[in-house]
Every structure is written in structure tokens, then in C-alpha cells.
Amino acid sequence: NAKEQNVEIRRYIPSMQMKAKERLKLENDLRRALERNEFYLVYQPQVQLETEEIVGMEALLRWEHPKRGIVSPVEFIPIAEESGLIVPIGDWVLRTACQQNKEWQLAGYRHICVSVNLSMRQFLQPNLAGKIDALLQEIGLDPCYVDLEITESMTLDKETAFDQLNRLKRLGVFISIDDFGTGYSSLHYLKNMPIDRLKIDRSFVSEVMEDSNNAAIVSTITSMAHHLKLKVTAEGVENKDQLHFLRQQHCHEAQGYLFSKPIKAAEFEAAFLKPLLG
Ligand code: C2E
Ligand code: CA
Ligand code: CA
Ligand code: CA
């Protein structure tokens, strides 16, 4: 019968196709995740090395799947990106992160900046700056407290990236290049891009003490950032030795498990904002 046949056929489906099926299932679930309120944000502090003050936080997306539990963004962001779902999801992330930041400002905490990751599709929207402008006006959040993290690959189409970044800079938001050093980007146009900060990729920082090549890369990126008058943040800082090295290099800021894993809003408030009061 048909059911048996199905089982027989499935036995011969190569694993790639099974993966495609699995992926389609995840995409369908992702399609409903927004309306079902399955997303939430976690926040990770960004610490100024000179003062050890919290100067910012990165908002990171989490998906609590009703059956699978927490699905990693590494797994679902690419699917969201390819299906185009990243645009409404990204809008939700921006809105939620900005609203949260405004709420904390209204509660009387010291004002800090919230970093939000942008994906390629979002970045390519011609009306992105207009959308963000309208959002910030609606919420009443000053654009100087918003940082947009893009990756090097988004700047490869130089003309488009340049126009988009200029529009965003005119709004007054902060722009960071995430995972810096892992993509291709010509130093020549890095020089001309209207950006504010480089975030050194975790892969270099994590082995900075063990691998002298990584140490050289971190030190070079940091010094280049200083020369270009860009801020520089190290990501993935997990221990004191790494922190010490980064201080020696005059890296401005650090982010990583040494300070905190990304945590839910209420936890972040209790651990990092309340202590700043008074
Ligand atoms: P990312 O933007 O490079 O974010 C940093 C990732 O490193 C986060 O993983 C964070 O939890 C992790 N991390 C931070 N400190 C440490 C550390 O000290 N050690 C280690 N081992 N890991 C650390 P997460 O949250 O799983 O996010 C993974 C990636 O998913 C992000 O990488 C980003 O590319 C993407 N992503 C997350 N949220 C969003 C979002 O709202 N929109 C978009 N477009 N992408 C997102
Ligand atoms: Ca990031
Ligand atoms: Ca990163
Ligand atoms: Ca990354």
C-alpha cells in the first residue's frame, strides 16, 4: 500500500534531501513564530576597558520552538534570510530592542547604546533608513543610542553600501562592522566607508594567547582602528589573559562570557543597570 511504499522510498532518500525536508519544516515553523510570540531577545553587555563601565549591549535573537526548545540563531537565521522572513523578523528585533532601551532610559538608568544585528536582506532594503527613522520617532529614542551591526560581506557592493550607510549615518545611528577580519574587505574602501566601529571576530580573540598569528591580527586591527579613528570592540572575551592583552593593545571595548553570557532583559537589568543607579 501507499504507506509502505512511502517508507520504502524514504529509505532511499539521500541525507541531503532529508535535510532539505527538515529545513522546509523549520521554515514553515519560522513563518508562524512571530505571530505565536516564540521570539525573545537576550542582551550581552559591552564593557569599556579603561573604566570597566558598561557602555552598551548587544541584542541577540532567541527562538523558543514549541517542540524543539531553543533553536540557535546560527541554525534559523540563514533560513530566515533565504526565505525573506528575516525582514519582518528583523523589524521585530529592531523594534523590541529599541523599545527596551527606551524603557530603561525612562526608568532612570544611565543611557547606553543597543547594538542590533542586521542581515543582508534587511540592509538591502532601499527604505531601511526611512523605516528606522519612523520607528525611532515613534518610540522617542535618540538615534545615538542605536548601533547597527553589519558584516563585511554587506559592503562588497560598494556603491549600494555607501549610499545606504550614508543614509543611516544621516539619521544619527552608530554603525559597526561585525566579525571583522573574517570577510573580504579592502582597506581602501574601509577608509572611505561611513562606519564607526570594528568588532574583532571571536575566532581571533579566543586564541589570542595560544596563537601568535591571532595576537598579531588582533593587535593590527586594533592599531588600524585607532589610526582610522574608529572604535574597536573585541568579541568573545572569555578570560583575564585575553582581557589583559586587549588592554595592552588599547582596545576600547570588550564583550564576552568573561563579563556575561547574553541574558534576558530582566536579568540584564538586575545585573548591569540597577547597580549603576545612585
Ligand atoms: P554575532 O553577531 O557574532 O554574535 C555573537 C555570538 O557570540 C552570539 O551567539 C553570542 O552569544 C556569542 N558569544 C558572545 N560572547 C561569547 C564568548 O565569550 N564565547 C563564545 N564562545 N561565544 C560568545 P548567538 O547569540 O548564538 O548568535 C549567533 C549569530 O546569530 C550572531 O553572531 C549573529 O550573526 C546571528 N544573530 C543573532 N541574533 C540576530 C538578529 O537579531 N538578527 C540577525 N540578522 N542575526 C542575528
Ligand atoms: Ca553581532
Ligand atoms: Ca560578531
Ligand atoms: Ca559571528
45 pocket-lining for ligand 1 (C-beta < 6 Å): no
- C-beta 60 within 6 A of ligand 1: yes
Q: Is 254 in the pocket of ligand 1 (CB under 6 A)?
A: no
Q: What is the pLDDT of residue 91?
A: 98
Residue 37 has pLDDT above 60, yes or no: yes
For the chain, what percent of residues have pLDDT higher than 70? Answer: 92
What pLDDT, in 10s, does the model give residues 1-14? 444 444 444 455 55
Query: Which atom of ligand 1 lies at the shortest distance from residue 122's CA?
Result: 44
pLDDT at residue 195 greater than cutoff 50: yes
For the residues 170-181, what does the mean pLDDT come to? 96
How far apart are the CA of 60 and the centre of ligand 1, in A? Answer: 6
How many angstroms separate the alpha carbon of residue 57 from the centre of ligand 1?
Answer: 12
Contacts of 128-136 with CB under 8 Å at 24 or more apart are 128/164, 128/167, 128/168, 129/164, 129/167, 129/168, 129/170, 129/171, 131/91, 132/94, 132/168, 132/171, 132/173, 133/171, 135/94, 135/95, 135/98, 136/98, 136/171
- Bigger pLDDT: 231 vs 190: 231
Global pTM exceeds 0.90: yes
178 within ligand 1 shell (Cβ under 6 A): yes
